[in-house]
Amino acid sequence: MIEIRDKTFYLQMRRSSYWFELTEHGHLRHLHYGPLLPIQDPTPLRLKYTQELSGLLIDPEDRLYSLDHLLLEYSSFGKGDFRESPLEIEWPDGRFNVDLSYAGYRHYRNSEPVSEEGDIPGDLSIDFLSLGLPAPDQEGAETLLIRLVDEFSLIAVDLIYLVYSDFDVIVRTTRVVNLGTEPFRILKQMSFMLDLPNRAFSHLTLHGLWGKEAHVSVAPLTVGTFSSGAETGTSSNQHNPGLMLLAGDESGYAYGLNIIYSGNHYTSVSLNSMNLCRVQQGLHPSRFKKTLSAGESFTVPLCIATFSDNFDNGVSQNFHDFINARLMPFAFREKPRPIVYNNWEATFFDFTEKKLLSLAKRAKSLGCELFMLDDGWFGSRDDDKRSLGDYHVNKKKFPRGLAPFYDKITGLGLEAGIWVEPEMISEDSDLYRAHPEYVLAEPGRTPATGRHQLVLDLCNPEVRDYLVKSLSELFDALPITYVKWDMNRNLSDVYSRVLGSQEDVYHQYVLGLYDVLRRVFTPRPHLMLEMCSSGGNRFDLGMLSFASLIWSSDDTDPIERLKIQEGLSYFYPPSAISNHVSSSPHQATFRTTPLSTRFNVASFGVLGYELDLDLLGPLEIKEIRDQIEFYKAHRELFQFGRFSRQKAVKKNKVIWQTVRDDRAVIGLFQTLGMALEPFDRLSVTGLEPDRFYVIETKPQRLFLERFGELIKHALPVKINPRGFAFAQLNKRYSLQDAVERYEASGKMLQNGMLLKNQFLGSYYNEEVRMLGDFGSSLYTVMPLDSL
Ligand code: DGJ
């Protein structure tokens, strides 16, 4: 709900409030972003000064009013606010001062102007779709548009707020309008700015690289500026755009911010010596400019902000609910994601149709639901050096073409998917030979390559039309329901031959990409889209406006994935996080991990398999069948449940839980084991306190190879643990990992229960929890009265 009283703007949500007011000098003063407060006189919330300030005065008569000491709703530059400005404008003569004052507002409910309200004439509403910007559905949202104007320079800045009460979410963006006759250049235009009095904040962001995406970084906010951003042309695995601010006091206050965008982005948090904190987010200002002629306007990508007083998990849950319900493609909201078998790590480029069909049959018999044919099916693509752009079938691998292969896949009762990398082109490709001008590169300069490939110029409408046509034809000719869209290098040598000016070429590339995605996938709502960019190089909200899930990382080692998936969970829902069980030792880390842990980690999100199924032993086959059956029984919990990260008191533990409809699954993961591990406590939150539940360990096999020489003592027969006989035995015989089962009230579960001891170095028995290095268990919780 938005209420406006005496030029105070009250944005009231289910559990949070956001307030600001007009000052006597025409600026907007930020008052409150925090828990829901009843509407009232905001005086107690104002920053108060009773003495003359050391800053600059805009009115010599008012010696207590200085912009540098105010909490502002949006700032500009030139009148004494010396904090980082969210807006930089330059006129042809080089001048840059902008002095914005409040001019009026419009209030919209369900996109209709609220009658009798608002004091700016005309319809100022914005159609994000027609601007090519991804935006959440506005169902249930109220919109507030505040117009700020510099009458001297004839520039307007519209602050736009979409208020989603049910989700405790505010989506913000800004539009700059040239009201004059002289053109000017926007050098920086942030979508979001927020001034807050500091609460000993820390900032949390995600950083990494290929294979180690989304590692969490938390640091206390200190005087100065912390900034994080990407200039790779993607949202990037180096610095994801999500930001949290976490209060260091006891309040539990936490703020989340994330831009709905897939290109260069910028976020900063600064603190000045008066303990005032400023956060801003938007398009990265480096290598970006936008010239606006008379009457023209420019709207930047939208940002999602949310608040919770339930620490970081509260913020994550707000993000998850909102993304699932308002941002993701309509046809796939709350739609169960299938269990995919993907052939990539099993075969890489080296496969035949026969091999794929063998994998598909095995996948089907295990319970997988969809066969995803990855890279290498087209052109002469037997390695990564060629053929991107030539999406016609590789006749050596599929002598009778693709359609008969896919018919066989669907004939097995599997759905089918296909891999493409449409934004890229190999120099060794028919497309490049025919159209070298399709490449994003400066004419005459040799462009850098990444994975032997160049980038197509998506600013060029001809290239976009070509992609839309060729992809549409490809997809329509096959009985597929799933597409994996890959993108395996960052942008370099960025220059488009078709743009008159290169000033916003990076942004135009991203808008071009959105245009292609919209034209290909909107008319084909039966196609579920999995985004991928060398793993998680483009894990962002822009992509999630088109895709139902994103491949998180090429690093499928479950212990590495604990960090990656946990990092992503801060900002993105489990329904979007694509995880596969792969082989052990892992092909990138050489770490040996139990099959149970590979599944237990991958199940928190969207489960798939990606190992060579033809190499599995009979027991592994049984184990995977059981895993898939278990996942299917709890799929909604894993994909759409209320996910939270539990604070593990022990350094060698990671604990996750997901709750839905008063049922839960908890994952307890051990990174490195230790000798004589002290007791483990497991708690479950978010259940009804007085209801009774059964908590039970998910049964899983304990493969004999885990025991090493200890097996001599655990088995009734003496056997050489390095011998052939043992290897055979290991394939066919296993022990059952310890299962615990308790009945307890929700309150007791919240308090935590003490688990049976882990192996203490001798005297193995069946009730001992055998975790060791990289061991893990899942626990299910069901209401007693439902059993
Ligand atoms: C990178 C992706 O992350 C992998 O899953 C796989 O699709 C390869 N590209 C194929 O080239």
Burial of 461 (0-12, 13-18, 19+ CB in 10 A): exposed
Cα(485) to centroid of ligand 1, in Å? 9
Burial of 51 (0-12, 13-18, 19+ CB in 10 A): exposed
pLDDT value of residue 708: 85
Q: Which residues of 234-251 are buried (b: 16+ CB within 10 A; e: fewer)?
A: bbbbbbbbbbbbbbeeee
551 lines ligand 1 (CB under 6 A): yes
How far, in Å, CA of 613 to CA of 356, rounded? 10
pLDDT, tens digit (0-9, with 9 covering 90-100), for 496-507: 999 999 999 999
237 lines ligand 1 (CB under 6 A): no
pLDDT, tens digit (0-9, with 9 covering 90-100), for 11-49: 999 999 999 999 999 999 999 999 999 999 999 999 999
Best residue among 483, 534, 553, 577 to mutate for probing ligand 1, ranked by most atoms within 8 Å of CB? 534
pLDDT, tens digit (0-9, with 9 covering 90-100), for 578-608: 999 999 999 999 999 999 999 999 999 999 9
610 lines ligand 1 (CB under 6 A): no
How far, in Å, CA of 474 to CA of 478, rounded? 7
Secondary structure of 341-370 as H, E, C letters: EECHHHHCCCCCHHHHHHHHHHHHHHCCCE
- Rounded to 5°, angle at Cα 596 from 591 and 599: 90
| pTM summary value | 0.98
pLDDT at position 116 over 60? no
pLDDT, tens digit (0-9, with 9 covering 90-100), for 240-297: 999 999 999 999 999 999 999 999 999 999 999 999 999 999 999 999 999 999 999 9
pLDDT at position 719 over 90? no
pLDDT at position 721 over 90? no
pLDDT, tens digit (0-9, with 9 covering 90-100), for 670-717: 999 999 999 999 999 999 999 999 999 999 999 988 888 888 777 777
pLDDT bucket at 117, cuts 50 / 70 / 90? low
Query: Averaged over 440-468, what is the pLDDT?
Result: 97
How far, in Å, CA of 209 to CA of 239, rounded? 9
How far, in Å, CA of 373 to CA of 688, rounded? 44
pLDDT value of residue 508: 98
Beta strand 734-736 pairing with 653-660: unpaired
Best residue among 350, 375, 423, 537 to mutate for probing ligand 1, ranked by most atoms within 8 Å of CB? 375
Nearest to 656 by CA among 603, 709, 591: 603
Catalytic residues: 486, 554
504 lines ligand 1 (CB under 6 A): no
pLDDT value of residue 479: 98
Secondary structure of 695-752 as H, E, C letters: EEECCCEEEHHHHHHHHHHHCCCCCCCCCHHHHHHHHHCEEECCCCEEEEEHHHHHHC
pLDDT at position 536 over 80? yes
Burial of 331 (0-12, 13-18, 19+ CB in 10 A): middle
189 lines ligand 1 (CB under 6 A): no
Residue with tokens 């005087």: 223
How far, in Å, CA of 295 to CA of 300, rounded? 17
How far, in Å, CA of 491 to CA of 94, rounded? 30
DSSP code, position 762: S
CB-based contact 30:73 (threshold 8 Å):
yes
- Nearest-atom number in ligand 1 for the CA of 342 is 5
Average pLDDT, the chain: 96
486 lines ligand 1 (CB under 6 A): yes
- Rounded to 5°, angle at Cα 9 from 6 and 13: 140
Cα(382) to centroid of ligand 1, in Å? 14
pLDDT at position 530 over 90? yes
pLDDT, tens digit (0-9, with 9 covering 90-100), for 486-529: 999 999 999 999 999 999 999 999 999 999 999 999 999 999 99
pLDDT at position 110 over 90? no
CB-based contact 566:654 (threshold 8 Å):
yes
CA distances for 508 relative to 262, 461, 493, 511, angstroms: 12, 11, 15, 5
375 lines ligand 1 (CB under 6 A): yes
Best residue among 237, 421, 487, 488 to mutate for probing ligand 1, ranked by most atoms within 8 Å of CB? 488
213 lines ligand 1 (CB under 6 A): no
Which residue lies with its CA nearest to atom 11 of ligand 1? 375
Task: For the chain, give the number of residues.
Answer: 787
Cα(535) to centroid of ligand 1, in Å? 7
Which residue lies with its CA nearest to atom 9 of ligand 1? 534
Task: List % helix, strand, coil for the chain (3-state, nearest 5).
Answer: 25, 30, 45
How far, in Å, CA of 372 to CA of 414, rounded? 10
